[in-house]
Structure 1
Amino acid sequence: MKKLLLSGVLATLLTSSLMAKDISTYEYANLQSSDAVKTALTNKGFTVVGEYDAMGNPNYHIVAYTNDSLEDSASKENRGFAAVQKVLVDKTDKKLVFTNPEYFLHAFLQDDFKEADAQKINKALSAAFGTLSGSKDALEDDDIAGFHFMMGMPYYEDMIEIAEGSDLLQKLKKNAGKNIVFELKLKNSTLVGVAMPTADGEKSYVTAIEGQEHSAFLPYMILIEGNKAKIMHPKYYLAISYPELSMGQFMTISSTPGDIEDYMTALVTK
């Protein structure tokens, strides 16, 4: 009887392993100008919500976009971060780098993720930009929702509440000023992308891990929901954006999570 039970467990594990598939964190396409990218997105029904030079470097220009499907899926509590996808116009490596909707929506929507919706977005991107090739950075599809870097590190749901109050958006707009990359009003929340051009900001930590090629996850985002402002825990967001990051690389930016939290907190509390 024990042998039969053990065989059944092994068979289940094997089947699960065979069915799991790798989902690339990013997808690549041939280089186009930022204007061409915005036109192509618009022609396929997307709305461009903002753009900026990541790390203050014009060779890494990011265009952020959304559509009705993304906004609808992000309307539930703690799901607002899924409302925006991004594409990096990488003039250094001469390619476009997309945040893979199937990967990031799975991470940010958790149990609300619908694969068909993500694939529909990917199909529209392929129609606009040609065949997309996947990055080496990837996770198995059944590992994305429950991802954390290692034991004791935060999961998606371990967001940091950086402020509480009735005037959070006003404070953010006043304090962040020109560093606001986009502001997207959702059904029950507002998602704001904010550049971090400080000495210990984007340029510092992305270049420290040589992660410029995959800086499409920028800008960092603040979700204002009700009377609370939240950010994804930096130890989570950096790790999910760089799943190939080694412990050694993570240690080189050990102060970064605290720097990000302090910077974002100041924007909504002063």
Structure 2
Amino acid sequence: MKKFYTLIATAVMIAFCGCAGTTPEAEAGVKIEKEVATYKIAPYVSVDEAKAKLAAAGFEVVGSYKPFENGTTLLFTNNAMKAMANKPSRGLAAVGRILVDDERKQISIANPVYFGKAFMQKEYSHATASAELAALEKAFGPCKNSGDKWEFDGLAGYHFMVGMPYYEDMDLVGEGSTADLVAKAQKAKGTTAVVKIGEDRYVAFVELDRRTNGFLKKIGTQNGEILPWAVLIEGGQAKALSAKYIIAISYPAFTMTEFMGIATVPGAVATDIKKIFK
């Protein structure tokens, strides 16, 4: 089933998107594997130790969130990440995520090469993303690749299947002045962080309703750093990645049958976030 889905997805991406982006060699003279791991798995440390390692590696920890009982997401950034992502529709790439997984006794690092290519697309900087990854691997290593992975050249044009959204098909969840939208995010119950990326560009990390959050246990808490939900605020608009996109790219081994099991979640996510920005 997985092989069949992979073949279909690859054919669709070629037909609709072509060969998206340039190769890593052309971007930075650095060769990477054809398939990129979605996460890097590192030896377990406590939340406080993880925060210390991030700080020592030159990252600023901007937020902490518990996506499930035995896990903690840490959000982090630095000036290079912000500079790379300070472009229209690219701000989501400015903040990285790691999961301190007390249940599995491991650290799961959202791979900045994987998500950087997906979110930055033609504006992706492999030099910046690979430097970020190297710093994380040095701080938390030795690291191994997760079983989740996707072809590097397919990430910029990723979508789950025909009729499903691409990165750019974001949900518009609020409109108004950027200042007002930021204020609403800051006042919302459960907001983890609001990070300034540029003069008129912010990323807010907001909490979904408890009932909506239940999808995580259905699809697997091992990739729990998908929460909290990120909202890009720029140009007087608040925009969030479609749940159909971000869940699929965060769980690339996901099948259509599994998606059907959480069919109501994407709509619930959009409804939850729109409440924040009314």
* 2:126 paired with 1:115: yes
The letter for the 1-side match of 2:93 is A
State which of 35, 43, 65 in structure 2 corresponds to 1:30.
Answer: 43
Structure 1 residue 173 displacement after superposition: 2.4
Q: In the alignment, which residue of structure 2 is the partner of 1:267?
A: 276
Q: In the alignment, which residue of structure 1 is the partner of 2:249?
A: 240
Q: In the alignment, which residue of structure 2 is the partner of 1:140?
A: 151
CA distance, structure 2, for counterparts of residue 217 and residue 86 of structure 1: 8
- Taking the TM superposition and a 5 Å limit, the aligned residue runs for 1:206-217 are 206-209=216-219, 211-217=220-226
* 2:111 paired with 1:100: yes
Instruction: Give aligned pairs, total.
Output: 246
Note the alpha carbon deviations across 1:153-191, whole angstroms, 9 max, x for none.
Answer: 0000111111111221222223x23x1111101113110
Structure 1 residue 89 displacement after superposition: 0.5
**Alignment gaps of 5+ in structure 1:** 1-12
Query: Is contact 2:231-2:238 (8 Å) kept?
Result: yes
* 2:193 paired with 1:182: yes
SS of alignment partner, residue 63 of structure 1: strand
Structure 1 residue 245 displacement after superposition: 0.4
Structure 1 residue 206 displacement after superposition: 0.9
Segments of 4+ moved more than 3 angstroms: none
Structure 1 residue 118 displacement after superposition: 1.0
Structure 1 residue 217 displacement after superposition: 2.1
CA RMSD, aligned part only? 1.5
State which of 127, 141, 161 in structure 1 corresponds to 2:138.
Answer: 127
Query: Is contact 1:32-1:96 (8 Å) kept?
Result: yes
SS of alignment partner, residue 214 of structure 1: helix
- Taking the TM superposition and a 5 Å limit, the aligned residue runs for 1:1-270 are 21-55=34-68, 57=69, 59-166=70-177, 167-174=180-187, 176-177=188-189, 179-187=190-198, 188-199=200-211, 201-202=212-213, 204-209=214-219, 211-269=220-278
Structure 1 residue 20 displacement after superposition: 6.6
Note the alpha carbon deviations across 1:78-137, whole angstroms, 9 max, x for none.
Answer: 001101111101011110001000000111101011112111111101111112111111
Query: Is contact 1:26-1:98 (8 Å) kept?
Result: yes
Q: In the alignment, which residue of structure 2 is the partner of 1:7?
A: none
TM-score by length of 1: 0.88
Note the alpha carbon deviations across 1:206-239, whole angstroms, 9 max, x for none.
Answer: 1112x10011222111111021110011111111
CA distance, structure 2, for counterparts of residue 170 and residue 24 of structure 1: 36
The letter for the 2-side match of 1:261 is A
**Alignment gaps of 5+ in structure 2:** 1-18, 24-31
SS of alignment partner, residue 169 of structure 1: helix
TM-score by length of 2: 0.86
CA distance, structure 2, for counterparts of residue 165 and residue 129 of structure 1: 41
SS of alignment partner, residue 248 of structure 2: helix
Query: Is contact 2:196-2:203 (8 Å) kept?
Result: yes
Query: Is contact 1:169-1:268 (8 Å) kept?
Result: no
Query: Is contact 1:54-1:195 (8 Å) kept?
Result: no
Q: Percent identity?
A: 37
CA distance, structure 2, for counterparts of residue 49 and residue 173 of structure 1: 13
